[in-house]
Amino acid sequence: MRWARIEVDGAAVHGIVEGDEVEVVTGDPFDGYERTGNRLPLDAVKLLVPVVPKTFYAAGLNYLEHVKEQAALRGTEPNIAERPEIGYRANNALIAHGEAIVIPADATDKVEYEGEIVAVIGKQAKHVAVADALDCVLGYTIGNDVSERNWQKSDRTMWRSKNTDTFKPMGPWIETDVDLDALETTVRLNGEEMIRFKTNHMLFGIEAYISAMSQYITLQAGDVIWMGTEGAARNLEDGDVVEVEIDGIGTLSNPVIREG
């Protein structure tokens, strides 16, 4: 099942995507819903961020080549995680599929994409075993962890390098039926393939993260966990269009604008 969040008459509602239509529901995928029979053409509705999380988690450096690339960028030794330790991103930065990534005028040219799979928590969970961890996942969406690399290096926190408004595109929807091991992530810049990698080829998988997190943290319905990206990236420039596709989930596409 494919869950979208859409704008209807100025309000945010949930809907089920079927083919090229979306059927509006009352309620939501977390606490229960009923179909309304109101079916809208998918290309005529405004897609919203598929969920606004209560807490926005991000695994960070979770693919080996990306860890090495980022270390090389800094001139440091790669710091390969020995255990799944989660990080955070900020809700202010979320934008939906189709909305513009706006690069501030004072950003350097080192603004990069990071294509990621996102696990969406479906129900409250604490002290979950690895074997049971995916039971609390409603489904999966796609994130683009846009990053200003010079700010990331110079600042004490990642507040503006990763959490500037519009730097966290997420969508287009939540897919509940996926075979994680079969997925491939592809990032395209202006239609040209930049990278393609096995989505589940992580240092620590989604199960490992959820289990570890849940020993100290109560995961809540609607929380999201961004799982990190692979490889190096190219700079984003004014007028670019960046797409992250995960086969079986969909394609998250966003134009890029530079201010000033």
Per CB under 8 A, the list member of 70, 141, 152, 164 interacting with a copy of itself is 164
User: Which of the residues 215 through 234 are near a copy of itself (CB under 8 A)?
Assistant: 215-220, 223
Query: How many residues sit close enough to a copy of itself to count as binding (CB under 8 A)?
Result: 33
Name the minimum Å distance from CB 53 to a copy of itself.
Answer: 9
User: Which of the residues 69 through 128 are near a copy of itself (CB under 8 A)?
Assistant: 79, 81, 85-88, 90-93, 104, 126
Spatial neighbors of 158 by CB under 8 A, at least 6 apart, are 152
Does 134 bind a copy of itself (CB under 8 A)? Our answer is: no
Does 241 bind a copy of itself (CB under 8 A)? Our answer is: no
Query: In this complex, which beta carbon is closest to a copy of itself, that of residue 200 or of residue 220?
Result: 220
Name the minimum Å distance from CB 122 to a copy of itself.
Answer: 16
Name the minimum Å distance from CB 130 to a copy of itself.
Answer: 17
Per CB under 8 A, the list member of 11, 20, 34, 156 interacting with a copy of itself is 156
Query: In this complex, which beta carbon is closest to a copy of itself, that of residue 42 or of residue 101?
Result: 101
The amino acid at 92: N
Residues near a copy of itself (CB under 8 A) are: 52, 54-55, 57, 60, 79, 81, 85-88, 90-93, 104, 126, 155-157, 159-160, 163-165, 213, 215-220, 223
